[in-house]
Amino acid sequence: MDLGETPAGTAPGPRGDLGEIYLDECKARVLDEIRRIVRSGTSGDERAYRLMLDYPLRRAKGLRPALCIAVCRALGGEMEAVLPSAAVIELYHNAFLIHDDIEDGSLERRGGPALHRTHGIPAAINCGDGLLALTLAPLLANTSTLGLGRALRVLEIYARAVTESFEGQAQELAWIDEATWQLTDADYEAMVLHKTCSYSFVAPGLVGAAVAGADPALETTLVPFLENLGLAFQIQDDVLNLEEGRTAYGKELAGDLWEGKRTLMLLHALRTATEADRENALRILGKPRPSAGSPEERLRGLLGAMVEEKVLDEATRAAMTRYLDRLGESSGEKTEDEIRFLRRLIDDHGSIAHARAVADRRARAAEASFSLLAKALPDSVHLRFIGWLKDYVVRREW
């Protein structure tokens, strides 16, 4: 299947899955485009160039640009016309991930250490800002290739998505920071609509439609489809984050619990727990996650070194360690036992089943919107990919 040439679908290839092949082919084109944009914006600074391509070159699905391309092409638009905007969406996504990983204290991303762990927080923040800066030139160049009207519409969609994504992120951080837990499923969904759905689903779809010059009336079908798709995706993402022992999933295991993220599962478990369990859970959630090189860890290391250098005797070290342990219990960091307690609470209260039910409801709503779209549009490999995507978001395993 050559997306640049063939308008219609082909039979499933050796990997047996139209969607996976479509994703792979889009990813290759988008990566080339990203290389071009980053190369032009780093004017020969090899170090900055390599840093900006670090996350994009790791194992990733590339759902966002593929969705953008598929919507555009299903509506009769051209690959060449949509490619720069699709690449911009992926650039923004990578900038968001780099900053998000610092904000959440995440250790892993896409099967490797998070960027701030390999290159330090300063370089990682600046790298994210650099990726954000590089999104503007391709969107402005659209004025020549797409014409003013379509180019400005793409810019409007982009501006709205990045603002909403900031708002959702601010909301999530505030909930963690202020120990908020009395939240409904609707509160969670409203946050996710801003934080994730807007830039990851709504914007890619609307940008694709704008580049194709689609009738604005189509948005009344397209937006609910994209929103439901995004909600189902994020809930499944949260469920996957909880499931331990899977090696195919690139994020650290149960990272959301270490980070105290207010997922549907956690909120459901907190709502339905006994008061004692809830109090314990909130106490745990209020503690920071242990960070590599945390003061406590380094403190214990220093004490060991002092014993070796005979600055400290073993008995005093033991007394000091007990003191630090007591301190750790009252004001320290989350422990593995505590994460297991949260995990068990979620299991005991059927909170994963609850979240899956919400995701299924969203997936069915997306299904209904998709049927309307499929009736309005001619059959194509692109339309079929969009249909594949709506099933994939809830059945994927990484």
Contact 158, 207 (CB under 8 A): yes
**The only residue of 312, 339, 358, 374 in contact with its own copies, by rule CB under 8 A:** 312
CB of 231 to its own copies, least distance (A): 19
**Among positions 146, 155, 266, 393, the unique one binding its own copies when judged by CB under 8 A:** 155
Residue 145 is a binding residue for its own copies (CB under 8 A): no
Contact 168, 198 (CB under 8 A): yes
Binding region for its own copies (CB under 8 A) out of 68-76, 214-222, 307-315, 343-351: 307-315
Residue 97's closest CA among 45, 132, 70, 65? 132
Q: Does 307 bind its own copies (CB under 8 A)?
A: no
Residue 304 neighbours by CB under 8 Å, 6+ apart: 317
Of the ranges 81-89, 215-223, 233-241, 308-316, which one interacts with its own copies (CB under 8 A)?
Answer: 308-316
Q: Pick one of 28, 311, 353, 376: the residue that binds its own copies (CB under 8 A).
A: 311
> Rounded to the nearest whole angstrom, what is the least distance from the CB of residue 201 to its own copies in the complex?
18
Structural element, H or E, at residue 109: strand 108-109
C-alpha–C-alpha distance, residues 5 and 93, integer Å: 27
The b/e string for 257-287 (b: 16+ C-beta within 10 A; e otherwise) is bbbbbbbbbbbbbbbebeeebbebbeebbeb
Interaction of residue 244 with its own copies, rule CB under 8 A: no
Per-residue mark of binding to its own copies, 95-134 (x: CB under 8 A): ----x--xxxx--------------xxxx-xxxxxx-xxx
Cβ at position 122, least distance to its own copies in Å: 4
Report the alpha-carbon distance of residue 28 to residue 220 in Å, rounded.
31
Choice between 200 and 236, CB closer to its own copies = 200
Number of helical (H) and strand (E) elements in the chain, helices listed first: 18, 2
Q: Calculate the CA dihedral of residues 36, 39, 42, 45 and round it to 10 degrees.
A: 170
Q: Does 174 bind its own copies (CB under 8 A)?
A: yes
Residues in touch with its own copies (CB under 8 A): 41-43, 45, 47-48, 51, 99, 102-105, 120-123, 125-130, 132-134, 136-137, 140, 143, 148, 152, 155-156, 158-160, 162-163, 165-167, 169-171, 173-174, 177, 293-296, 298-299, 302, 306, 309, 311-313, 316, 319-320, 322-324
